[in-house]
Structure 1
């Protein structure tokens, strides 16, 4: 789903969709069988967690927590519900926080001028790291809501801070967009309401190593492009990513994984890979972007072989306000 709200009750009922589930004897007598499922009462959250531990991990059982015995409006797989209960503080943070967008500069290697920024989601109070936030969202099935919020805050955060003509690179998870025309409708409404130019937005897929449904991803790309936006493949060179993926998807940009950029000036294998990506991309009219530039030598090698854009700590760290100061060491002759 594009986003599902979760509420944890201090006491209530654990609903299990499979009424024929063989419940353990110590709580089976407490269960009430209605609405094609079993309602098992609990008095504390600790008791609820213990209850789910006793039942065990059953992927095929849909579950919910209820404050009363009534037909559940929404159910999720039991392991996902257990994760939501165990990480309820983070789930509430995902649902209720007005997140911020941080900005990392993206630079044109030909003249080191500013090309745009990647927008990166951050907790305004610094209570949780971005990595932990997205990992917990994945465990709890909340990544759809978090992904939607990330897109929204990136678009709104651009207004009044980034001038027209500079690009905003915004991450998205294709697995959360089960129906592009429906799930992305909210995003397109935000773009229109914010007065942001569609052509200044680049949406980059962050699951290139996990593409299981190429047609689905192509449909997502098509939906973005129909609205005048650009699309990018992120982390290219890591995991699943191949030149065949470029040929199949034909993105506007390909962002080369930092693992292929690190020490590329002195690693022959990486050099051969990068040169092949540049060759294929140029033939397909795809703009190349080197991620994770941390040294002058890496920047110079990427520029010399024809990579168009770059980002990384050498050029600028993510900041709460858009900013780009050309590193003095990057200026030729200094």
Structure 2
């Protein structure tokens, strides 16, 4: 396999150019404005994106049509009309996913016992102060428009690149990734492995954490993905354990190097016996498997004290520092 059809077809919404329509019943879908390129493809000029929208409305109920745009009469790329429509009406976000200036901000992760910085989680942000977006919305639109693999790759590159001049050798970088973007671990992860070489990063300093916003359908496949990272000398983490589909049972099945406990169990854990019971069980089960435990979302000193007393290894949250452009503005808090 030397190419990947799953990474998403990207193209730009030019202000003027040519609309291309592809269909096995092409004659049923074109008007007199179109010229036939062959038995399946026709094209027509447009001078504004309003004209593109008019065509979308006209073809609204077509199910066997693919569409694409080009600056010239040469066919570039076409995608199914429903995906095209989603991209058209979210074109500003889609354009940012494809071309926007991205950067990773860094949030410190603290060793709860030595109170030293253990690592940083890389969180996607925009370089352009005039552009604002919610990362959650960004990934949601990327998934709906078939661009989630592209966005995930771009985010991973920024997370690796930000180490230069910021994160010293030996300090971990925690990098989110979407398992749904990796279809063939041996092929799809080559992009990441090449970035590690490009930026001369020690693989042992990287921790790739599974962001489980969706149900884990194929645990066996996910384990292959995690094992592929491990084969390259990298570490893996299971994020948001205790929330949604990320359960304690997954620890036994996936054997990650780290487990991050969902912040809902950390918030006010000093005042809730049921949260204390879960945190204790999670820590004991993880340590029995040799997994390092991390409590995320710590905002109060009392929460840090509880997690430390239960034996949690690491902590993350606003108490220790907010995400920032550099590590210099990170804050470490010592428990009294």
1:101 aligns with 2:104: yes
Q: Report the number of matched residues.
A: 327
1:90 aligns with 2:93: yes
Q: Compared with structure 1, are the counterparts of its residues 331 and 197 closer, same or farther at alpha carbon in structure 2 (3 Å cutoff)?
A: same
Q: Determine which of 32, 49, 67 is the counterpart of 1:63.
A: 67
| Structure 1 counterpart SS, 2:7 | coil
Check whether the contact 1:2–1:178 (CA below 8 A) recurs between aligned residues. no
How far apart in 2 are the matches of 1:46 and 1:28?
A: 17
* TM-fit CA distance, 1:206: 0.9
| Structure 1 counterpart SS, 2:82 | helix
Q: Compared with structure 1, are the counterparts of its residues 35 and 95 closer, same or farther at alpha carbon in structure 2 (3 Å cutoff)?
A: farther
TM-score w.r.t. length of structure 2: 0.87
Q: Determine which of 311, 328, 331 is the counterpart of 1:325.
A: 331
Q: Indicate the residue corresponding to 1:270 in structure 2.
A: 275
Q: Determine which of 212, 216, 219 is the counterpart of 1:214.
A: 219
Check whether the contact 2:110–2:118 (CA below 8 A) recurs between aligned residues. yes
Q: Compared with structure 1, are the counterparts of its residues 316 and 129 closer, same or farther at alpha carbon in structure 2 (3 Å cutoff)?
A: same
RMSD, aligned α-carbons: 2.4
Q: Compared with structure 1, are the counterparts of its residues 208 and 138 closer, same or farther at alpha carbon in structure 2 (3 Å cutoff)?
A: closer
Q: Indicate the residue corresponding to 1:253 in structure 2.
A: 258
1:53 aligns with 2:60: no
Structure 1, unaligned stretches of length 5 or more? none
Q: Indicate the residue corresponding to 2:12 in structure 1.
A: 7
Check whether the contact 2:26–2:40 (CA below 8 A) recurs between aligned residues. no
1:287 aligns with 2:292: yes
How far apart in 2 are the matches of 1:234 and 1:61?
A: 40
Q: Compared with structure 1, are the counterparts of its residues 100 and 22 closer, same or farther at alpha carbon in structure 2 (3 Å cutoff)?
A: same
Check whether the contact 2:103–2:125 (CA below 8 A) recurs between aligned residues. yes
Q: Which shifted more, 113-122 or 37-46?
A: 37-46
Q: Determine which of 19, 36, 40 is the counterpart of 1:36.
A: 40
Structure 2, unaligned stretches of length 5 or more? 1-5
Matches within 5 A, 1:127-206: 127-131=131-135, 132-206=137-211
How far apart in 2 are the matches of 1:246 and 1:215?
A: 13
How far apart in 2 are the matches of 1:200 and 1:175?
A: 24
